[in-house]
Amino acid sequence: MPSLSVPYADLSSTDLTVDAVYEGGPGTGFGDDPIHKILPTQNRGGFRRGVHPATRGVLRGSTLFAVLYANRSRPEWPDAVDTFRGTAVYHGDNNRPGRDLHDTPHKGNVFLGDVFRDAAGGRQGRERVPPILLFEKAETRLDVRFRGLLVPGTVAEPAPRALKTVKQAASSGTFLNYAATFTILDVPVVERRWIREFVTGDFHGPAAPTAWRLWVETNTYAPRSVAKVRTPDEQRPDAPERDLVEEIVAFCAGDPSAFERCAAALWRMTAPATHCLVPPIGEPATTGDWTGRYLLGPVDDPIALEFGLEARCLAADDPVRESDVLRLLVTVRDRRSFGVFVTTSFFEPPIHSRIRENGYPMVLICGKDIDFLLRAHGHTTREKVRAWLTRTLG
According to the model, what pLDDT value does residue 72 have? 64
- 232-393 to CATH, choices 3.40.1350.10, 1.10.1370.40, 3.30.1490.110, 3.30.2350.10: 3.40.1350.10
State pLDDT tens for residues 350-372. 999 889 888 889 999 999 999 99
Report phi then psi at 68, rounded to 5: -105, 130
C-alpha triplet 69, 72, 77: angle, nearest 5°: 100
According to the model, what pLDDT value does residue 270 have? 94
- 5-218 to CATH, choices 1.10.10.350, 3.40.50.1220, 2.30.280.20, 3.40.50.2000: 2.30.280.20
Q: Where are the beta strands (DSSP E) in 23-143?
A: 47-51, 63-70, 80-82, 87-91, 132-137
Asked whether the beta carbons of 227 and 237 are under 8 A apart, the reply is no
The pLDDT tens digits along the chain (394 residues) read 457 899 999 999 999 999 999 999 988 777 888 998 999 887 677 788 886 655 444 444 568 899 998 876 565 566 788 888 899 999 988 888 889 999 988 888 999 999 999 999 999 999 999 999 999 988 788 899 999 999 999 999 999 999 999 887 777 788 899 999 999 999 999 999 999 999 988 999 999 999 999 999 999 999 998 777 888 988 998 877 899 999 999 999 989 999 999 999 999 999 999 999 998 875 444 456 899 999 999 989 999 999 999 999 999 999 999 999 998 988 888 878 999 999 999 999 999 988 988 888 999 999 999 999 999 899 999 999 999 999 999 7
CA atoms within 13 A on the CB side of 310: 18
Q: Which residues pair with 5 in a beta bridge?
A: 21
- Residue spans of the domains in the chain: they are 5-218, 232-393
According to the model, what pLDDT value does residue 230 have? 86
